[in-house]
Amino acid sequence: MNSLRQKIIAQITQNGPIPFDRFMEMALYEPGMGYYASESTEIGKKGDFYTSQHVHSMFGMMIGRQFEEMWNMIGKPDVFYIIEPGAGAAYLCRDVLDYLNGKNIIDHFIYIIQEKNVHMKKRQQTLLNVYSDKIRWVSSLEEIGTVKGCVFSNELLDAFPVKIIEHLDTLREVYVTYEREEFIERSDILSTEKISEYFHEFAIELPRKYRTEVNLRIRDWLLEVNNILSEGFILTIDYGYPARDYYSEERNRGTLLCYHKHQYNEDPYQFIGEQDITAHVNFSSVSKWGEESGFRTIGFCQQGVYLVSLGIDEMMKTLPQDSKDYLFEIAKIKKLILPGTLGETHKVMIQYKGNAKPELRGFSIKNQKDKL
């Protein structure tokens, strides 16, 4: 039995059943043991899943182009801060800085990575050594102070611990207990009134025998972001839906998934600390709660449409067409934009706080913010 499993069992034995979000929090973030907090965590081809930054460097280059546009939109401040919580392998940071360096504007940018995992931080520092003078590391957003810039995340919000809710005769919350040498789920009364308020806020009425997730921690995170940005943007890339689609009748078992060695499963109680646990994002909550914090939603659409609007075809023309790997490179880039790929499953949302009226190129083809 691994030490993290033992620690979770000990907490249940001492305090009784725990809400699922507490179980998920320990499984992912328990210091030194959780999936994102251990030395052994690998993301990418050698790990349990990959993200857009692992597919091709073109993704980071396009995000770099977005930061350049944002910098222009708010008047080219002397310093524009790019803040990335959960940078993972940091390939995207490297590719962004490569782009800004190539445009000869890198002197106006500082990249801040929020990383609590000391082992991951060391790997990031090794990869990014050439840009060490342009990067800072923090363990919490509050260390940053107040700045102008953009808080960027790629597959971050989906890993926030979620509450699991079932609609039986009334709304019930899923708790985790331990019996007969295995973790067992039990439905009980809601741990907080915020859950009922959430469903009322988004006008959600669940059918009977419906199971789903509620991510309340996004709201707290947006408040943290508001505290550090005097003016700027939130750029969120993740998989998810507007509330109406998230809580549709056909999605009656929720969206919770686990990833282990590039295979997905629906059992969070196996491979504890050794598999990722995720739930799709309710982008309506990101938009509404962002507005309450002072951030106006500028745009929302699928990643593929966004990258095409932003001009990824122009960037693709810079690839050496006489290279023997040219067609292979193009095939990888297509995984970022085409239907049935990350280009369809992942959504892009940009929110803005300030007095400007930015119109970003990435939403010139399609902007679905009205669906939120």
- What percent of the chain has pLDDT above 90? 87
Amino acid making up residue 152:
F
The per-residue pLDDT for 1 is: 52
Distance CA 5, CA 275 (A): 13
Mean pLDDT of 184-191: 97
Q: What is the mean pLDDT of the chain?
A: 94
pTM beyond 0.75: the answer is yes
pLDDT in tens, 232-277: 999 999 999 999 999 999 999 999 999 998 799 999 999 999 999 9
The per-residue pLDDT for 320 is: 84
Is the per-residue pLDDT at 309 higher than 90? yes
Mean pLDDT of 174-189: 96
Is the per-residue pLDDT at 43 higher than 80? no
Q: The dihedral of CA 43, 48, 51, 57: what is its sign?
A: positive
Distance CA 114, CA 99 (A): 21
Is the per-residue pLDDT at 48 higher than 70? no
The per-residue pLDDT for 50 is: 56
The per-residue pLDDT for 325 is: 85
Mean pLDDT of 278-299: 97
At residue 326 the predicted structure's pLDDT band, cuts being 50, 70 and 90, is confident
Question: 32 near 38, Cβ under 8 Å?
Answer: yes
At residue 2 the predicted structure's pLDDT band, cuts being 50, 70 and 90, is confident
Q: Sketch out the chain's domains with CATH numbers.
A: 52-155+215-249+280-365 (3.40.50.12710)
Distance CA 220, CA 224 (A): 6
pLDDT in tens, 5-34: 999 999 999 999 999 999 999 999 999 999
CA distances from 142 to 145, 223, 226, 229, 241 (A): 6, 11, 10, 11, 29
